[in-house]
Amino acid sequence: MGQLEAQSTEALIQIALEGDEDDARAWDAIRALHLRGTREVLDAAIQLLGAPSAKARGRGADILGQLGGGEPAFPAECGEALVNLLHREQAPAVLLSVGVALGHLQAPRALSALVKLASHPSAEARYGAAHGLAVLNAPEAVEALIRLSADEDRDVRDWATFGLGSMMEDVDTPRCGMRSRRGLAKRTPRFSERPWWGSRTARTRALSSPCARRFGARW
């Protein structure tokens, strides 16, 4: 990634836009933008959120979610831009990116929008909701995750169950603990047989969420 660090912000964004979801170089460019974490990167990513291309909007969200790397840069502005996008976005893939990004930012102001997203007809969008809700220790988030832990989609169910597990010590909600323990008990054999992250892997492997880190997940 050393050569990428010398690239301009514009060039890094172009590399990110050229690669698909499994393109390692595209994700390296996104990580370089995270680490740069400047106002220039912030402004460029926010501009992407208004692009006609769903892929560009998704990349904008991917960048904003971890801007600054380990030391978040402009978190309030990133969160506001992502919540605004969440209210108007239609593309499931972009909604996934926004949900994961908001999970990194742990933005309480996104709670109501994420709860609504949890009922989206697209499993991809609901998966994003599970990521965003898993770090919000609020009763509404717990209730939404409980519903998602029974989702028809396996990836959504599994991530919601892990999200509930991460809350068990932080939220005094018996339903959360009971449902999470049952869900984890049912799913544990599967996780021992194969990687547990399911089919929507590229974005979540590259941008592993706070929920996964709390469980010590390793990619």
Question: Could you read off the pLDDT of 185-218 as tens digits, one per residue?
Answer: 454 333 333 333 344 444 544 455 444 443 333 2
Q: Using alpha carbons, list the distances in angstroms from residue 208 to 22, 65, 66, 174, 218.
A: 15, 11, 10, 28, 9
Q: Which CATH number fits domain 2-214: 1.25.10.10, 1.20.1250.20, 3.30.1330.60, 2.40.50.100?
A: 1.25.10.10
Residue ranges of the domains in the chain? 2-214
The span from the CA of 133 to the CA of 29, in Å, is 27
Which residues in the chain land under pLDDT 50? Answer: 171-173, 180-181, 184-185, 187-202, 204-206, 209-219
Whether the full predicted model's pTM is greater than 0.85, yes or no, is no
